[in-house]
């Protein structure tokens, strides 16, 4: 299918090489077979992996006539890619039984994580093509996502002994120690926007502690889910991470199952509230990483060109479909005009088009219904007085295309500021002072992350101390890193992923106190 010309392709080549994080990858994108069903199946490894242990969990629906199936769709064309059957009750029971029985030593976990990192890098070309085909991410950013997963596996492999080392506690006259024990089986309900990274950042630390995982991935990235399971099977053997495809009503019953010890969910607030409530009724640990409408504050003394370039990259990375992103750009009025000019120019350098091309920065959104919801938010914002600064026109190509757009909102109650926008729609708002910027930043129900740009560090630190967010980034974009915890407060959820804190979310932090037994006298 013919593509509309990319926007500023030459200028995008330098900036787009940074993917899910700032880690560069040397993997050469494979555009040729991106939308070929055979190529997707090869990357997913549909006939291997866990299919050897539990036939059917990894299979595709070739020739399947037993009931409803999941059909994955290429968002760049709107055409079907593949079909997958739902997991049967017998397959689910077998997966649970295997997960409960499966245990690994500390050395086996560390070695498995290292093997996983090697496999991710070895297969980065085909896996990146699969990601791009199923959810529309730039293939260069898809390769960077895989590299970030590999780095995270290595991080936990390298720090596992330190993480699990018992801590001695002085409880005289007794001896005391604190040790980390796994909870058991964790149900991971994961989203589509980073189909590998979201799984790895949540579950690599859980597996490092010694837990096993049942992965219920988003339906539209079912091929990626199969590939993730295959990689884990090849690195650890079957049972450490097993994928399941379930209808919504069966997910609740699985949360209730006594074999499931904890639940990790990343997704919308609406579904997260249901998952958290169900886990709460079953008295099970849950970690919820929900929506975000992150403020990006630009103070009057900021390096405006640098901040604007960063805002463009942060907002439109991953086709605008990131939880950590510059969604509410709040700028002191004295530099507002300069910032808007710089931001509009930076947006113009980001190539918009075929995500299989390595120079593309912004591709289609992941699904047509998501595109339609973002269009509704844009139209509602314009009706409320928002001014379109760039883009705004409807892209009527087949698929889930949305022209990258930037608007100026009339106030914090505008839909593009009040609601979470999940797509290539940026929104800017001028404020009169740093205190006004902080008030607007904290006016949202969300509290995932915040970025603050300026040169007066004492003033920035005072603002950062009062921001309602799980993370604050100073003079850099909001992004996750395996060395730091990530998570939100308020409507953005609870619990943490990554770092030692992410691992401890799914640990039984067990205290052992031993009395000194008097020696018997002869």
Residues 454-463 pLDDT 10s: 999 999 999 9
Is 180 contained in some domain? yes
Residue 32 has pLDDT above 60, yes or no: no
**Same domain (yes/no): 77, 31:** yes
Is 7 contained in some domain? no
Q: Buried b / exposed e across 229-255, counting CB within 10 Å, b at 16+? A: bbbbbbbbebbbbbbbbbeeebbbebb
- Pick the last residue of a domain from 263, 289, 315: 289
Contact 223, 44 (CB under 8 A): yes
What's the confidence (pLDDT) of residue 518? 75
Is 454 contained in some domain? yes
Is 466 contained in some domain? yes
Is 425 contained in some domain? yes
**Same domain (yes/no): 83, 226:** yes
In the predicted model, what is the mean pLDDT of residues 302-309?
99
Is 10 contained in some domain? no
Given its phi and psi angles, is residue 319 left (phi above 0), alpha (psi -120 to 50 degrees) or beta?
A: left
**Same domain (yes/no): 180, 231:** yes
Catalytic-labelled residue, pool 123, 134, 147, 289: 289
Question: Which CATH number characterizes residue 334's domain?
Answer: 3.40.309.10
Residue 11 has pLDDT above 60, yes or no: no
**Same domain (yes/no): 274, 373:** no
**Same domain (yes/no): 260, 386:** no
Is-catalytic flag, 289? Answer: yes
In the predicted model, what is the mean pLDDT of residues 281-299?
98
Residues 147-183 pLDDT 10s: 999 999 999 999 999 999 999 999 999 999 999 999 9
**Same domain (yes/no): 229, 143:** yes
Residues 429-455 pLDDT 10s: 999 999 999 999 999 999 999 999 999
**Of 150, 154, 170, 143, residue with least CA distance to 25:** 143
Question: Which CATH number characterizes residue 226's domain?
Answer: 3.40.605.10
In the predicted model, what is the mean pLDDT of residues 9-17?
31
Contact 210, 505 (CB under 8 A): no
- Pick the last residue of a domain from 255, 289, 323: 289
What are the phi and psi torsion angles at 480 (to 5°)? -90, 155
d(CA 265, CA 323): 13
**Same domain (yes/no): 241, 340:** no
3-state helix, strand, coil in the chain (%, to 5): 40, 20, 40
**Same domain (yes/no): 413, 267:** no
Residue 82 has pLDDT above 60, yes or no: yes
Is 46 contained in some domain? yes
| Number of domains making up the chain | 2
**Same domain (yes/no): 262, 385:** no
What's the confidence (pLDDT) of residue 20? 34
Is-catalytic flag, 153? Answer: no
**Same domain (yes/no): 86, 161:** yes
Residue 26 has pLDDT above 80, yes or no: no
Catalytic-labelled residue, pool 40, 224, 323, 450: 323
**Same domain (yes/no): 228, 316:** no
In the predicted model, what is the mean pLDDT of residues 492-507?
98
pLDDT mean across residues, the chain: 90
Q: What is the DSSP string of 112-168?
A: HHHHHHHHHHHTHHHHHHHHHHHH---HHHHHHHHHHHHHHHHHHHHHHHHHH--EE
Residue 24 has pLDDT above 60, yes or no: no
- Pick the last residue of a domain from 455, 474, 493: 474
In the predicted model, what is the mean pLDDT of residues 14-29?
31
**Same domain (yes/no): 257, 328:** no
Is 255 contained in some domain? yes
Contact 357, 12 (CB under 8 A): no
Place of tokens 């990146």: 128
- pLDDT band of residue 357 (cuts 50, 70, 90) is very high
Place of tokens 């940026």: 426
Residue 204 has pLDDT above 90, yes or no: yes
Residue 283 CB burial class (10 angstroms; 0-12, 13-18, ≥19): exposed
| Element housing 511 (H / E) | strand 507-514
Residue 320 has pLDDT above 70, yes or no: yes
| Element housing 473 (H / E) | strand 471-474
Instruction: Spell out where 156-245 has E strands.
Output: 167-171, 174-182, 185-189, 212-216, 241-244
The domain containing residue 97 runs over which residues? 24-289
In the predicted model, what is the mean pLDDT of residues 203-211?
98
| Element housing 310 (H / E) | helix 304-316
């Amino acid at each position: 299918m013919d593509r509309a010309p990319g926007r500023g392709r030459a200028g995008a080549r330098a900036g787009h090489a940074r993917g899910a994080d700032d880690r560069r990858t040397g993997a050469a994108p494979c555009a040729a077979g991106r939308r070929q069903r055979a190529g997707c199946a090869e990357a997913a490894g549909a006939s291997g992996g866990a299919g050897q242990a539990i036939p059917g969990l990894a299979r595709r629906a070739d020739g399947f006539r037993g009931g409803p199936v999941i059909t994955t769709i290429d968002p760049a064309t709107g055409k079907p890619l593949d079909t997958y059957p739902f997991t049967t009750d017998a397959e689910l029971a077998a997966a649970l039984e295997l997960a409960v029985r499966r245990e690994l030593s500390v050395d086996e976990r560390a070695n498995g994580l290292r093997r996983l990192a090697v496999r991710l890098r070895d297969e980065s070309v085909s896996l990146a093509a699969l990601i791009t085909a199923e959810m529309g991410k730039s293939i260069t950013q898809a390769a960077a996502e895989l590299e970030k997963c590999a780095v995270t596996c290595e991080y936990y492999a390298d720090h596992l002994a330190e993480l699990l080392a018992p801590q001695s506690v002085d409880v005289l006259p007794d001896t005391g120690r604190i040790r980390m024990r796994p909870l058991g089986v964790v149900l991971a309900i994961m989203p589509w926007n980073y189909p590998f990274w979201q799984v790895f950042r949540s579950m690599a630390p859980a597996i490092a502690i010694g837990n096993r995982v049942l992965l219920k991935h988003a339906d539209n990235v079912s091929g990626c889910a199969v590939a993730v399971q295959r990689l884990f099977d090849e690195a650890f053997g079957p049972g450490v991470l097993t994928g399941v495809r379930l209808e919504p009503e069966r997910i609740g019953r699985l949360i209730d199952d006594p074999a499931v010890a904890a639940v990790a969910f990343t997704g919308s607030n609406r579904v997260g509230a249901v998952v958290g409530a169900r886990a709460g009724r079953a008295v099970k640990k849950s970690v919820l990483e929900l929506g975000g409408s992150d403020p990006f504050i630009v103070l009057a003394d900021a390096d405006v060109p640098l901040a604007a370039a960063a805002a463009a990259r942060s907002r439109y990375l991953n086709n605008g479909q990131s939880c950590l992103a510059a969604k509410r750009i709040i700028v002191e009025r004295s530099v507002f005009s300069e910032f808007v000019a710089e931001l509009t120019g930076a947006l113009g350098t980001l190539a918009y088009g075929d995500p299989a091309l390595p120079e593309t920065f912004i591709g289609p959104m992941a699904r047509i219904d998501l595109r339609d919801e973002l269009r509704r938010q844009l139209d509602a914002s314009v009706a409320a007085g928002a001014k379109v600064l760039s883009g705004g026109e409807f892209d009527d190509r087949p698929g889930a295309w949305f022209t990258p757009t930037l608007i100026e909102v009339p106030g914090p109650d505008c839909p593009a500021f009040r609601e979470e926008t999940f797509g290539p729609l940026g929104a800017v708002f001028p404020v009169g002072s740093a205190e006004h910027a902080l008030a607007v930043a904290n006016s949202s129900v969300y509290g995932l992350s915040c970025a603050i740009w300026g040169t007066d560090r004492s003033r920035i630190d005072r603002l950062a101390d009062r921001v309602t967010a799980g993370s604050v980034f100073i003079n850099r974009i909001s992004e996750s890193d395996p060395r730091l915890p990530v998570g939100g407060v308020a409507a953005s959820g609870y619990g943490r992923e990554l770092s030692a804190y992410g691992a401890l979310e799914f640990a039984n932090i067990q205290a052992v106190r031993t009395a000194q037994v008097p020696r018997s006298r002869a």
